[in-house]
Structure 1
Amino acid sequence: MNDPIRDVIVHYHIFKNAGTTIDALLHANFPHSHGAVEGELPWDILSSDQLQQYILANPTLKVVSSHQARLPLPEHTSLRIHPIVFLRHPIDRVESIYQFERHEPDTHLSPGIQIAKNTDLKGFVEWGLSENGTAVFRNFQTIHLAGRETDMRYAAATQADFLVASARLRELSFVGIVDRFDASIQQLRQVLKPIYPDLQLTPSLALNTSIGRSNLLSARIARISEALGNTLLNELIKANQFDLELYWQHTARDATAAFVSH
Protein backbone atom coordinates (compact mmCIF):
# COMPACT_ATOMS: atom_id res chain seq x y z
CA MET A 1 0.00 0.00 0.00
CA ASN A 2 1.42 3.36 -1.02
CA ASP A 3 1.93 6.08 1.56
CA PRO A 4 -0.37 9.12 1.18
CA ILE A 5 0.99 12.11 -0.68
CA ARG A 6 2.06 14.90 1.65
CA ASP A 7 1.28 18.46 0.56
CA VAL A 8 3.87 21.08 1.55
CA ILE A 9 3.90 24.80 0.75
CA VAL A 10 7.42 26.09 0.14
CA HIS A 11 8.00 29.84 0.23
CA TYR A 12 11.17 30.69 -1.67
CA HIS A 13 11.78 33.94 0.20
CA ILE A 14 13.78 36.25 -2.06
CA PHE A 15 15.26 39.06 0.04
CA LYS A 16 13.08 42.23 0.02
CA ASN A 17 10.32 40.66 -2.10
CA ALA A 18 7.45 40.94 0.44
CA GLY A 19 8.58 37.72 2.10
CA THR A 20 7.95 38.83 5.68
CA THR A 21 4.32 39.52 4.86
CA ILE A 22 3.94 36.16 3.09
CA ASP A 23 5.48 34.34 6.05
CA ALA A 24 3.09 36.10 8.44
CA LEU A 25 0.08 35.05 6.34
CA LEU A 26 1.28 31.46 6.20
CA HIS A 27 2.12 31.33 9.89
CA ALA A 28 -1.36 32.61 10.75
CA ASN A 29 -2.84 29.66 8.85
CA PHE A 30 -0.35 27.03 10.00
CA PRO A 31 0.90 28.27 13.40
CA HIS A 32 2.05 24.84 14.59
CA SER A 33 3.30 23.41 11.31
CA HIS A 34 5.29 26.29 9.82
CA GLY A 35 9.06 25.86 9.64
CA ALA A 36 12.08 27.76 8.36
CA VAL A 37 15.42 26.44 7.18
CA GLU A 38 18.60 28.40 6.37
CA GLY A 39 22.31 27.77 6.04
CA GLU A 40 24.90 28.79 8.61
CA LEU A 41 25.88 32.08 6.92
CA PRO A 42 23.81 34.78 5.15
CA TRP A 43 25.45 34.04 1.79
CA ASP A 44 24.96 30.26 1.89
CA ILE A 45 22.45 28.44 -0.30
CA LEU A 46 20.42 25.25 0.19
CA SER A 47 20.06 22.89 -2.76
CA SER A 48 16.83 21.19 -3.74
CA ASP A 49 18.13 17.97 -2.18
CA GLN A 50 18.92 19.71 1.11
CA LEU A 51 15.46 21.25 1.20
CA GLN A 52 13.92 17.85 0.51
CA GLN A 53 15.94 16.27 3.33
CA TYR A 54 14.70 18.96 5.73
CA ILE A 55 11.07 18.42 4.72
CA LEU A 56 11.32 14.64 5.03
CA ALA A 57 13.03 14.94 8.42
CA ASN A 58 10.16 17.13 9.71
CA PRO A 59 7.00 15.19 8.81
CA THR A 60 4.60 17.50 10.69
CA LEU A 61 5.50 20.59 8.68
CA LYS A 62 2.95 21.85 6.16
CA VAL A 63 4.81 25.06 5.30
CA VAL A 64 8.52 25.72 4.87
CA SER A 65 10.08 29.13 4.27
CA SER A 66 13.67 29.81 3.30
CA HIS A 67 15.77 32.69 1.96
CA GLN A 68 18.41 30.23 0.84
CA ALA A 69 16.49 27.30 -0.65
CA ARG A 70 16.88 27.06 -4.41
CA LEU A 71 14.84 25.69 -7.26
CA PRO A 72 14.11 23.26 -8.85
CA LEU A 73 11.33 21.91 -6.68
CA PRO A 74 12.12 18.79 -4.66
CA GLU A 75 10.84 15.67 -6.37
CA HIS A 76 9.91 12.79 -4.09
CA THR A 77 7.22 10.16 -4.41
CA SER A 78 5.70 11.09 -1.04
CA LEU A 79 5.74 14.88 -1.53
CA ARG A 80 3.69 17.39 -3.50
CA ILE A 81 5.32 20.82 -3.30
CA HIS A 82 3.31 24.03 -3.71
CA PRO A 83 5.82 26.84 -4.38
CA ILE A 84 5.44 30.53 -3.59
CA VAL A 85 7.78 32.93 -5.39
CA PHE A 86 7.44 36.71 -5.64
CA LEU A 87 9.28 38.95 -8.11
CA ARG A 88 9.96 42.66 -7.70
CA HIS A 89 11.03 45.48 -10.00
CA PRO A 90 14.80 45.45 -9.37
CA ILE A 91 15.25 49.23 -9.22
CA ASP A 92 12.46 49.55 -6.67
CA ARG A 93 13.97 46.64 -4.77
CA VAL A 94 17.36 48.35 -4.41
CA GLU A 95 15.86 51.35 -2.63
CA SER A 96 13.90 49.02 -0.36
CA ILE A 97 17.17 47.28 0.56
CA TYR A 98 18.73 50.66 1.33
CA GLN A 99 15.89 51.64 3.66
CA PHE A 100 15.91 48.21 5.31
CA GLU A 101 19.65 48.12 5.98
CA ARG A 102 19.68 51.62 7.44
CA HIS A 103 17.61 50.25 10.33
CA GLU A 104 19.41 46.95 10.86
CA PRO A 105 21.57 46.40 13.99
CA ASP A 106 25.27 47.17 13.63
CA THR A 107 26.07 43.61 14.69
CA HIS A 108 24.44 42.10 11.57
CA LEU A 109 26.83 40.47 9.11
CA SER A 110 25.54 42.29 6.02
CA PRO A 111 28.40 44.42 4.62
CA GLY A 112 25.98 47.07 3.35
CA ILE A 113 24.58 48.13 6.72
CA GLN A 114 27.29 50.63 7.64
CA ILE A 115 27.33 51.97 4.08
CA ALA A 116 23.56 52.49 4.14
CA LYS A 117 23.70 54.21 7.53
CA ASN A 118 26.43 56.61 6.50
CA THR A 119 25.47 57.66 3.00
CA ASP A 120 22.49 58.52 0.81
CA LEU A 121 20.83 56.24 -1.74
CA LYS A 122 23.21 57.33 -4.48
CA GLY A 123 26.26 56.50 -2.36
CA PHE A 124 24.73 53.16 -1.41
CA VAL A 125 24.15 52.21 -5.05
CA GLU A 126 27.63 53.40 -6.07
CA TRP A 127 29.08 51.09 -3.41
CA GLY A 128 26.77 48.26 -4.42
CA LEU A 129 27.88 48.41 -8.04
CA SER A 130 31.57 48.68 -7.13
CA GLU A 131 33.97 45.76 -6.74
CA ASN A 132 33.12 45.72 -3.04
CA GLY A 133 29.38 45.31 -3.62
CA THR A 134 27.49 42.02 -3.49
CA ALA A 135 25.09 40.12 -5.75
CA VAL A 136 22.18 41.84 -3.97
CA PHE A 137 22.60 44.74 -6.45
CA ARG A 138 23.12 42.74 -9.64
CA ASN A 139 20.43 40.46 -11.08
CA PHE A 140 19.92 38.95 -7.64
CA GLN A 141 16.54 37.44 -8.48
CA THR A 142 17.94 35.74 -11.60
CA ILE A 143 20.87 34.36 -9.61
CA HIS A 144 18.54 33.14 -6.87
CA LEU A 145 16.15 31.40 -9.26
CA ALA A 146 18.86 29.86 -11.45
CA GLY A 147 20.53 28.39 -8.36
CA ARG A 148 23.92 27.81 -10.00
CA GLU A 149 26.01 29.98 -7.68
CA THR A 150 26.88 28.73 -4.20
CA ASP A 151 28.20 31.95 -2.60
CA MET A 152 25.91 34.97 -2.90
CA ARG A 153 28.68 37.41 -2.02
CA TYR A 154 30.41 36.95 -5.36
CA ALA A 155 27.66 35.57 -7.59
CA ALA A 156 27.22 36.93 -11.12
CA ALA A 157 24.37 36.12 -13.48
CA THR A 158 24.96 34.89 -17.02
CA GLN A 159 22.67 34.62 -20.04
CA ALA A 160 22.43 30.90 -19.28
CA ASP A 161 21.29 31.69 -15.72
CA PHE A 162 18.59 33.96 -17.11
CA LEU A 163 17.32 31.22 -19.42
CA VAL A 164 17.24 28.71 -16.55
CA ALA A 165 15.48 31.17 -14.22
CA SER A 166 12.94 32.08 -16.87
CA ALA A 167 12.19 28.43 -17.65
CA ARG A 168 11.82 27.54 -13.98
CA LEU A 169 9.39 30.38 -13.37
CA ARG A 170 7.25 29.27 -16.32
CA GLU A 171 6.95 25.83 -14.73
CA LEU A 172 5.62 27.16 -11.42
CA SER A 173 1.92 27.22 -10.67
CA PHE A 174 2.24 30.67 -9.09
CA VAL A 175 4.55 33.67 -9.43
CA GLY A 176 3.55 36.81 -7.52
CA ILE A 177 4.45 40.43 -8.25
CA VAL A 178 5.28 42.62 -5.24
CA ASP A 179 3.77 45.83 -6.60
CA ARG A 180 0.59 43.90 -7.47
CA PHE A 181 0.50 42.25 -4.09
CA ASP A 182 -3.26 42.15 -3.47
CA ALA A 183 -4.02 40.75 -6.93
CA SER A 184 -1.19 38.23 -6.55
CA ILE A 185 -2.54 37.07 -3.20
CA GLN A 186 -5.96 36.54 -4.77
CA GLN A 187 -4.33 34.40 -7.47
CA LEU A 188 -2.39 32.45 -4.85
CA ARG A 189 -5.61 31.74 -2.98
CA GLN A 190 -7.15 30.31 -6.15
CA VAL A 191 -4.09 28.15 -6.84
CA LEU A 192 -4.04 26.70 -3.32
CA LYS A 193 -7.80 26.47 -2.76
CA PRO A 194 -8.21 22.89 -4.11
CA ILE A 195 -5.70 21.60 -1.54
CA TYR A 196 -6.35 24.10 1.26
CA PRO A 197 -10.03 25.13 1.01
CA ASP A 198 -9.99 26.87 4.40
CA LEU A 199 -6.86 28.91 3.73
CA GLN A 200 -7.27 32.55 4.80
CA LEU A 201 -5.09 35.02 2.95
CA THR A 202 -5.86 38.65 3.70
CA PRO A 203 -4.33 41.13 1.23
CA SER A 204 -2.77 44.39 2.42
CA LEU A 205 -1.29 42.89 5.58
CA ALA A 206 2.01 44.55 4.74
CA LEU A 207 4.91 43.97 7.14
CA ASN A 208 8.55 45.06 7.13
CA THR A 209 7.78 47.86 4.67
CA SER A 210 9.74 51.09 4.36
CA ILE A 211 7.99 54.07 5.92
CA GLY A 212 7.36 57.04 3.66
CA ARG A 213 7.57 55.23 0.33
CA SER A 214 4.80 55.91 -2.18
CA ASN A 215 2.27 53.18 -2.89
CA LEU A 216 2.75 53.80 -6.62
CA LEU A 217 5.62 52.02 -8.32
CA SER A 218 5.87 54.76 -10.96
CA ALA A 219 6.30 57.42 -8.27
CA ARG A 220 8.98 55.39 -6.51
CA ILE A 221 10.92 54.78 -9.73
CA ALA A 222 10.72 58.49 -10.62
CA ARG A 223 12.10 59.48 -7.21
CA ILE A 224 14.87 56.88 -7.37
CA SER A 225 15.82 58.05 -10.88
CA GLU A 226 16.11 61.63 -9.67
CA ALA A 227 18.21 60.61 -6.66
CA LEU A 228 20.65 58.54 -8.72
CA GLY A 229 20.99 60.68 -11.84
CA ASN A 230 21.03 59.34 -15.39
CA THR A 231 24.54 57.87 -15.41
CA LEU A 232 24.22 55.82 -12.22
CA LEU A 233 20.63 54.84 -13.00
CA ASN A 234 21.71 53.46 -16.36
CA GLU A 235 24.51 51.50 -14.67
CA LEU A 236 21.99 50.03 -12.22
CA ILE A 237 19.60 49.13 -15.03
CA LYS A 238 22.40 47.47 -16.98
CA ALA A 239 23.42 45.49 -13.90
CA ASN A 240 19.85 44.23 -13.54
CA GLN A 241 18.84 43.63 -17.15
CA PHE A 242 17.98 39.97 -16.52
CA ASP A 243 15.90 40.79 -13.44
CA LEU A 244 14.04 43.46 -15.38
CA GLU A 245 13.25 40.98 -18.14
CA LEU A 246 11.97 38.41 -15.64
CA TYR A 247 9.86 41.09 -13.97
CA TRP A 248 8.24 42.26 -17.21
CA GLN A 249 7.65 38.69 -18.41
CA HIS A 250 5.78 37.79 -15.27
CA THR A 251 4.00 41.10 -14.85
CA ALA A 252 2.38 40.24 -18.18
CA ARG A 253 1.70 36.68 -16.97
CA ASP A 254 0.23 38.02 -13.72
CA ALA A 255 -2.10 40.37 -15.57
CA THR A 256 -3.24 37.56 -17.87
CA ALA A 257 -3.92 35.24 -14.93
CA ALA A 258 -5.94 37.95 -13.17
CA PHE A 259 -8.02 38.49 -16.34
CA VAL A 260 -8.67 34.77 -16.77
CA SER A 261 -9.62 34.28 -13.10
CA HIS A 262 -12.37 36.87 -13.49
Structure 2
Amino acid sequence: MADERTIILHYHLFKNAGTSVDAILKRNFGDRWVTREFPVRGGNNTALVEDWIRETPEAVAYSSHTMVGPLPRVEGVRVISFLLLRDPIERIRSAYRFERTQAADTWGARLAKELDFEGYVRARLDRPGDRQCRNFQTHRLASMVPGAGTELERAQAAIRQLSVVGLVSDLGAAMADLARLYSGESRGFGATDVRANQSRGLGSEIISPEFAELLRDANCLDMSLVRSRTKARLANH
Protein backbone atom coordinates (compact mmCIF):
# COMPACT_ATOMS: atom_id res chain seq x y z
CA MET A 1 0.00 0.00 0.00
CA ALA A 2 1.19 3.51 -0.82
CA ASP A 3 1.29 4.83 2.76
CA GLU A 4 2.85 1.72 4.30
CA ARG A 5 5.84 2.37 6.56
CA THR A 6 8.96 0.30 6.00
CA ILE A 7 11.18 -0.29 9.02
CA ILE A 8 14.31 -2.28 9.81
CA LEU A 9 14.17 -4.41 12.96
CA HIS A 10 17.62 -5.50 14.15
CA TYR A 11 17.79 -8.46 16.51
CA HIS A 12 21.06 -7.53 18.24
CA LEU A 13 22.41 -10.79 19.63
CA PHE A 14 25.17 -10.35 22.22
CA LYS A 15 28.64 -10.34 20.60
CA ASN A 16 27.34 -10.94 17.07
CA ALA A 17 28.69 -7.71 15.55
CA GLY A 18 25.48 -5.92 16.49
CA THR A 19 27.33 -2.78 17.56
CA SER A 20 28.80 -2.51 14.07
CA VAL A 21 25.34 -2.94 12.54
CA ASP A 22 23.91 -0.29 14.85
CA ALA A 23 26.71 2.11 13.93
CA ILE A 24 25.86 1.65 10.24
CA LEU A 25 22.15 2.16 10.87
CA LYS A 26 22.77 5.24 13.01
CA ARG A 27 25.07 6.72 10.38
CA ASN A 28 22.40 6.21 7.73
CA PHE A 29 19.31 7.20 9.70
CA GLY A 30 20.52 9.50 12.50
CA ASP A 31 17.83 10.07 15.10
CA ARG A 32 15.48 7.79 13.15
CA TRP A 33 17.55 4.89 14.53
CA VAL A 34 16.19 3.94 17.94
CA THR A 35 17.01 1.32 20.53
CA ARG A 36 15.18 -0.09 23.53
CA GLU A 37 15.43 -3.09 25.87
CA PHE A 38 12.53 -5.18 27.15
CA PRO A 39 11.70 -7.54 30.00
CA VAL A 40 11.81 -11.15 28.83
CA ARG A 41 8.24 -11.82 30.03
CA GLY A 42 8.45 -15.59 29.95
CA GLY A 43 10.05 -15.66 26.51
CA ASN A 44 7.58 -13.49 24.58
CA ASN A 45 7.63 -9.69 24.62
CA THR A 46 6.38 -9.25 21.05
CA ALA A 47 3.42 -7.15 22.19
CA LEU A 48 5.83 -4.66 23.78
CA VAL A 49 7.88 -4.50 20.58
CA GLU A 50 4.73 -3.88 18.54
CA ASP A 51 3.75 -1.06 20.92
CA TRP A 52 7.23 0.44 20.52
CA ILE A 53 6.88 0.47 16.73
CA ARG A 54 3.43 2.11 16.94
CA GLU A 55 4.63 4.72 19.45
CA THR A 56 7.57 5.85 17.28
CA PRO A 57 6.13 6.58 13.81
CA GLU A 58 9.12 8.75 12.91
CA ALA A 59 11.63 5.94 13.43
CA VAL A 60 13.00 3.77 10.62
CA ALA A 61 15.63 1.50 12.20
CA TYR A 62 14.99 -0.33 15.47
CA SER A 63 17.50 -2.33 17.50
CA SER A 64 17.27 -4.37 20.69
CA HIS A 65 19.23 -7.11 22.48
CA THR A 66 16.15 -8.38 24.27
CA MET A 67 13.37 -8.98 21.73
CA VAL A 68 12.02 -12.50 22.18
CA GLY A 69 8.93 -14.19 20.81
CA PRO A 70 7.29 -14.19 17.36
CA LEU A 71 8.17 -11.54 14.81
CA PRO A 72 6.04 -8.43 15.38
CA ARG A 73 3.14 -7.59 13.10
CA VAL A 74 1.86 -4.02 12.98
CA GLU A 75 -0.89 -2.86 10.65
CA GLY A 76 0.44 -0.51 7.98
CA VAL A 77 4.07 -1.40 8.70
CA ARG A 78 6.38 -3.53 6.58
CA VAL A 79 8.99 -5.03 8.91
CA ILE A 80 12.39 -5.98 7.47
CA SER A 81 13.84 -8.20 10.19
CA PHE A 82 17.62 -8.62 10.44
CA LEU A 83 19.82 -10.95 12.47
CA LEU A 84 23.43 -12.09 12.31
CA LEU A 85 24.81 -15.53 13.14
CA ARG A 86 28.36 -16.16 14.30
CA ASP A 87 30.63 -19.14 14.84
CA PRO A 88 29.54 -20.02 18.40
CA ILE A 89 33.03 -20.65 19.77
CA GLU A 90 34.26 -17.29 18.51
CA ARG A 91 31.15 -15.66 19.94
CA ILE A 92 31.82 -17.18 23.38
CA ARG A 93 35.48 -16.08 23.25
CA SER A 94 34.34 -12.56 22.40
CA ALA A 95 31.75 -12.57 25.19
CA TYR A 96 34.39 -13.67 27.69
CA ARG A 97 36.80 -10.92 26.66
CA PHE A 98 34.04 -8.32 26.74
CA GLU A 99 32.84 -9.34 30.21
CA ARG A 100 36.41 -9.52 31.47
CA THR A 101 37.07 -5.88 30.57
CA GLN A 102 33.69 -4.21 30.98
CA ALA A 103 33.08 -1.88 33.93
CA ALA A 104 30.09 -3.77 35.28
CA ASP A 105 29.25 -5.74 38.41
CA THR A 106 27.11 -8.42 36.79
CA TRP A 107 27.56 -12.09 37.64
CA GLY A 108 29.07 -12.76 34.22
CA ALA A 109 31.51 -9.84 34.44
CA ARG A 110 32.69 -10.90 37.90
CA LEU A 111 33.06 -14.48 36.70
CA ALA A 112 35.15 -13.46 33.68
CA LYS A 113 37.45 -11.33 35.84
CA GLU A 114 37.96 -14.15 38.35
CA LEU A 115 38.45 -17.12 36.01
CA ASP A 116 40.32 -18.04 32.86
CA PHE A 117 38.38 -18.78 29.68
CA GLU A 118 37.87 -22.46 30.43
CA GLY A 119 36.77 -21.80 33.99
CA TYR A 120 34.33 -19.13 32.81
CA VAL A 121 32.75 -21.43 30.23
CA ARG A 122 32.50 -24.40 32.59
CA ALA A 123 30.86 -22.25 35.27
CA ARG A 124 28.28 -20.95 32.82
CA LEU A 125 27.57 -24.43 31.46
CA ASP A 126 27.05 -25.68 35.01
CA ARG A 127 24.61 -22.88 35.88
CA PRO A 128 20.99 -24.05 35.41
CA GLY A 129 19.19 -22.13 32.69
CA ASP A 130 22.28 -20.21 31.53
CA ARG A 131 22.40 -20.31 27.72
CA GLN A 132 25.27 -17.88 27.17
CA CYS A 133 27.69 -20.71 26.34
CA ARG A 134 25.19 -23.36 25.26
CA ASN A 135 23.53 -23.02 21.84
CA PHE A 136 22.73 -19.38 22.61
CA GLN A 137 21.77 -18.45 19.05
CA THR A 138 19.55 -21.49 18.57
CA HIS A 139 17.78 -20.68 21.83
CA ARG A 140 17.10 -17.09 20.80
CA LEU A 141 15.89 -18.04 17.34
CA ALA A 142 13.64 -20.80 18.68
CA SER A 143 11.83 -18.25 20.86
CA MET A 144 10.45 -16.71 17.66
CA VAL A 145 8.55 -19.91 16.84
CA PRO A 146 6.92 -21.16 20.04
CA GLY A 147 5.09 -24.46 20.13
CA ALA A 148 5.83 -27.96 18.95
CA GLY A 149 9.14 -29.07 17.48
CA THR A 150 12.67 -29.34 18.72
CA GLU A 151 14.64 -26.21 19.50
CA LEU A 152 16.68 -26.68 16.33
CA GLU A 153 13.57 -27.16 14.19
CA ARG A 154 12.00 -24.00 15.59
CA ALA A 155 15.24 -22.06 15.09
CA GLN A 156 15.37 -23.20 11.47
CA ALA A 157 11.76 -22.09 11.02
CA ALA A 158 12.64 -18.68 12.45
CA ILE A 159 15.49 -18.31 9.96
CA ARG A 160 12.99 -18.90 7.15
CA GLN A 161 10.71 -16.20 8.57
CA LEU A 162 13.38 -13.52 9.06
CA SER A 163 13.98 -11.13 6.17
CA VAL A 164 17.79 -11.22 6.36
CA VAL A 165 19.94 -13.71 8.27
CA GLY A 166 23.59 -12.94 7.67
CA LEU A 167 26.95 -14.08 8.98
CA VAL A 168 29.32 -12.06 11.12
CA SER A 169 32.13 -13.50 9.01
CA ASP A 170 30.54 -11.86 5.95
CA LEU A 171 29.08 -8.71 7.44
CA GLY A 172 29.44 -6.73 4.24
CA ALA A 173 27.28 -9.18 2.31
CA ALA A 174 24.64 -9.19 5.04
CA MET A 175 24.45 -5.40 5.06
CA ALA A 176 24.27 -5.37 1.26
CA ASP A 177 21.31 -7.77 1.42
CA LEU A 178 19.64 -5.49 3.96
CA ALA A 179 20.32 -2.42 1.83
CA ARG A 180 18.81 -4.07 -1.24
CA LEU A 181 15.64 -5.00 0.63
CA TYR A 182 15.23 -1.54 2.10
CA SER A 183 16.25 0.39 -1.01
CA GLY A 184 13.86 -1.58 -3.19
CA GLU A 185 11.48 1.33 -2.69
CA SER A 186 14.12 3.84 -3.89
CA ARG A 187 15.20 4.85 -0.41
CA GLY A 188 18.91 5.47 0.07
CA PHE A 189 20.95 3.21 2.33
CA GLY A 190 24.62 4.09 2.25
CA ALA A 191 27.67 3.20 4.29
CA THR A 192 28.08 -0.44 5.20
CA ASP A 193 31.79 -0.50 6.07
CA VAL A 194 31.73 0.35 9.80
CA ARG A 195 33.30 -2.00 12.35
CA ALA A 196 32.63 -1.09 15.98
CA ASN A 197 33.30 -2.60 19.41
CA GLN A 198 35.39 -5.45 18.05
CA SER A 199 37.04 -7.81 20.51
CA ARG A 200 40.71 -8.18 19.70
CA GLY A 201 42.96 -11.18 19.92
CA LEU A 202 40.29 -13.82 19.56
CA GLY A 203 41.60 -17.34 19.49
CA SER A 204 44.65 -16.58 21.65
CA GLU A 205 43.50 -18.77 24.53
CA ILE A 206 45.12 -22.20 24.41
CA ILE A 207 42.49 -24.84 25.10
CA SER A 208 42.80 -28.55 25.60
CA PRO A 209 41.32 -31.07 23.16
CA GLU A 210 38.92 -32.23 25.89
CA PHE A 211 37.67 -28.69 26.50
CA ALA A 212 37.40 -28.02 22.77
CA GLU A 213 35.19 -31.08 22.47
CA LEU A 214 33.05 -29.86 25.38
CA LEU A 215 32.58 -26.51 23.64
CA ARG A 216 31.61 -28.16 20.37
CA ASP A 217 29.16 -30.52 22.05
CA ALA A 218 27.52 -27.68 23.99
CA ASN A 219 27.12 -25.63 20.82
CA CYS A 220 26.47 -28.26 18.17
CA LEU A 221 23.09 -26.77 17.24
CA ASP A 222 24.56 -23.30 16.75
CA MET A 223 27.33 -24.81 14.65
CA SER A 224 24.73 -26.57 12.52
CA LEU A 225 22.87 -23.30 11.90
CA VAL A 226 26.05 -21.47 10.91
CA ARG A 227 27.11 -24.28 8.56
CA SER A 228 23.69 -24.33 6.91
CA ARG A 229 23.67 -20.56 6.50
CA THR A 230 27.17 -20.59 5.05
CA LYS A 231 26.17 -23.24 2.50
CA ALA A 232 23.05 -21.28 1.57
CA ARG A 233 25.07 -18.11 1.01
CA LEU A 234 27.63 -19.92 -1.14
CA ALA A 235 24.82 -21.47 -3.19
CA ASN A 236 23.20 -18.08 -3.79
CA HIS A 237 26.35 -16.24 -4.79
- SS for the counterpart of 2:171 is helix
Residues 159 and 242 (structure 1 numbering): CA distance in 2 closer, same or farther, change over 3 Å? farther
Q: Distance in 1 between matches of 2:185 and 2:235?
A: 23
Q: Distance in 2 between matches of 1:173 and 1:239?
A: 28
1:122-137 alignment runs, 5 A limit: 122-131=118-127, 134-137=130-133
Q: What amino acid is aligned across from residue 19 of structure 2 in structure 1?
A: T
Is the Cα–Cα contact under 8 Å of residues 145 and 158 in structure 2 kept in the other structure?
A: no
User: 1:71–1:249: structure 2 CA closer, same or farther, 3 Å change rule?
Assistant: farther
Is the 2:99–2:113 contact (alpha carbons within 8 Å) kept by the matching residues of 1? yes
> Is 1:37 equivalent to 2:16 in the alignment?
no
**1:56 — aligned with what?**
54
Q: 1:15·1:67 contact (CA, 8 Å) conserved in 2?
A: yes
Q: 1:106 to 1:71 in 2, by over 3 A?
A: closer
Mapped to 2, the partners of 1:10 and 1:232 lie a distance apart of 36
Secondary structure of residue in 2 paired with 1:137: coil
| Letter paired with 2:27 | A
Cα deviation, residue 71, structure 1: 4.7
Indicate if the aligned counterparts of 1:87 and 1:175 stay in contact, CA closer than 8 A.
yes
Whether 2:191 is the aligned partner of 1:212: answer no
Q: Secondary structure of the equivalent of 2:164?
A: coil
Give the Å deviation of 1:77.
Answer: 2.5
Give runs of aligned pairs for residues 178-189 of structure 1, distance below 5 A.
178-189=168-179
Distance 1:34 1:45 in 2: 25
Rounded Cα–Cα distance in structure 1 between residues aligned with 2:121 and 2:220: 16
The aligned residue for residue 73 of structure 1 is 71
Query: How far did 1:249 drift?
Result: 1.0
Q: Deviations over 1:166-206 (max 9, x none)?
A: 01102323111001122222232223221353111322x21
Q: 1:7, 1:82 within 8 Å by CA — same for their partners in 2?
A: yes
Contact 2:83–2:165 under 8 Å retained in 1: yes
Shift of 1:124: 1.5
Alignment CA distance shift 1:114-1:44 (3 Å) = farther
Once residues 22 and 117 of structure 2 are traced to their aligned partners in structure 1, the CA distance between those partners, rounded to angstroms, is 28
* Contact persistence 1:4–1:78 (CA under 8 A): yes
- Using structure 1 for the length normalisation, give the TM-score: 0.81
Query: Letter of the aligned partner of 1:182 in structure 2?
Result: G
Amino acid at match of 2:199: S
CA-based RMSD? 2.5
Identity of aligned residues (%): 30
1:8/1:63 contact within 8 Å kept:
yes
Distance 1:37 1:45, change over 3 A: farther
The answer on whether the counterparts of 1:12 and 1:83 sit within 8 Å (CA) in structure 2 is yes
Match of 1:154 in 2: none
- Is the 8 Å Cα contact of residues 145 and 155 (structure 2) preserved in structure 1? no
Q: Say which of 167, 174, 182 aligns to 1:177.
A: 167
> Partners of 2:42 and 2:19 in 1: how far apart?
19
Q: Counterpart in 2 of 1:153?
A: none
Deviations 1:201-256, CA, capped at 9 Å, x for gaps: 322x211111233xxxxxx4xx55xx221222212211111111111111112223
2:136 corresponds to: 140
Q: Match for 1:195: what amino acid?
A: E
Letter in 2 for 1:212: G
Corresponding position of 1:116: 112
Is the 2:100–2:113 contact (alpha carbons within 8 Å) kept by the matching residues of 1? yes
Q: Please say if residues 87 and 247 of structure 1, whose CA atoms lie closer than 8 Å, have aligned partners that are also in contact.
A: yes
CA contact (8 A) 1:12 1:70 kept: no
In the alignment, residue 65 of structure 2 is paired with which amino acid? H
- Whether contact under 8 Å (2:125, 2:134) holds in the other structure is yes
- How many residue pairs match? The answer is 236
